[in-house]
Amino acid sequence: MTLAILGGSFNPVHVGHLALADAVLSTFHYDRILLIPSFQSPFKESGQGVSSEDRLDLLLASVAADSRIGIEDCEIKRRGISYTIDTLNDIEDRYKPQGKIGLVLGDDLIEGFLGWRRADELARRTDVILARRLFQTHDSFPFPHRNLENEIISVASKDIRRRIAEGRSWKYLVPPGARNLIQDRRLYGYTAGPSNAQGPQDPSATLISQVEEYTRFLLPRNRFLHCRQVALFSRDLCVRFGLSEAQGYLAGIAHDLCKGMEDDQLKALALQDGLSLSPLEEQKPSLLHARAAAVLLRSRFGVETEAVLEAIQCHTTGAVGMGNLAKIVYVADKIEPSRSGVRGELRVLAQTEGLDRLFYEVLKDTVAYLQSKGRELSEETKALLHYSQGGIEG
């Protein structure tokens, strides 16, 4: 895919950030733009009373069901001061984008760009996109670039923080999801009442956004971020292989819905699918989170699409005869960009090989990893490996 990146403190994210991301996508037709919150900018004070995790949550709450926008926590994971050249290396390595990455810069950064670490290399390796924030022209920028004729939206995070602390109007300067979190967590000195949001029970515009919001409330931050990466990767693979991108995103966002449940809850939910527990599931109930998620998606949200339910149910162990959507979600779960330790060749195969070959290679790699850790394989996985190998070699 083609990628653009937009970094910043997002302290907090506001409508100007999302409008800028939308303008980049609409003007230059990237497949996706990644919003990358810094842990600490080399040019700004860190935190200012709000944690990097809070800022990440505000972003995640602001882009539900929008598959054009990804959220990357790589700079937060690295900790310390964030340098864009390091982030570029990381994104190129994990995402394997087509062509140069678009680097979105506000024109307020032009004057200081030469002071960035390895600025010449950064400008050479990216397609620099200069967005209007303060000025109408960018004649002083010394490197090749494209100008974005975006509307200048006079909103600044610093001003929003001040407004919140002073009790002045601010609520429509940030996306609704971020607004609710700021109120509920009393960030930036907010002291009035709660948001009145009912969390995952709130009606949403679409089924996918309902499921995504429910998943975000239910799971820890890192697990939800993984779910969104799987959703985006599944959606992209569905586009490539001619399947429903909406079904791919839905299955991906919900695949780990029950990951944090206790063993008794998992067993009770999983048994509602009418199947018995295998000896390995009895021994290791955490494996049941896939079956339980499929049951929960059907019972709570009324999802009856068998391909989606199968994809969720099979994403951990797989199953002989699983359909193409299930293969896609299995692959996305194992090699999505935030997964560490993934062989780069597998992510290349996701762009070049047919689905059956891609699935087999990811399955084989997963089995080898489990065996290296001395973990027992399920009977479904053993049978699937034998079946898939025969199909590929045949």
The predicted-structure confidence for 205-259, as pLDDT tens digits, reads as follows 378 989 999 999 999 999 999 999 999 999 999 999 999 999 999 999 999 999 9
CB distance 294 to 309 below 8 Å: yes
Give CA–CA dist 169/298, Å, rounded: 41
Per CATH, domain 207-393 is 1.20.1090.10: no
Spatial neighbors of 322 by CB under 8 A, at least 6 apart, are 310, 314, 330, 384
Residues 317-329 have pLDDT tens digits of 999 999 999 999 9
Where are the domains positioned within the chain? 3-197, 207-393
Nearest to 35 by CA among 80, 78, 68: 68
By mean pLDDT, which of 17-31, 254-268, 376-390 is the weakest?
Answer: 376-390
Q: In what order do the strands lie in the sheet with 3-8?
A: 69-71, 32-37, 3-8, 101-106, 126-131, 146-148
Nearest to 328 by CA among 354, 360, 359, 297: 359
Number of H helices, E strands in the chain: 18, 6
Residues 268-290 have pLDDT tens digits of 999 999 999 999 999 999 999 99
**183 pLDDT more than 80:** yes
Please compute the mean of the pLDDT values over residues 286-308 and round it to a whole number. 95
> Looking at domain 3-197, what is its CATH homologous superfamily?
HUPs (3.40.50.620)
Instruction: Supply the pLDDT for residue 379.
Output: 86
Distance of CA 377 to the CA centre of its chain: 29
pTM for this prediction: 0.86
Q: What are phi and psi of 32, to 5 degrees?
A: -155, 150
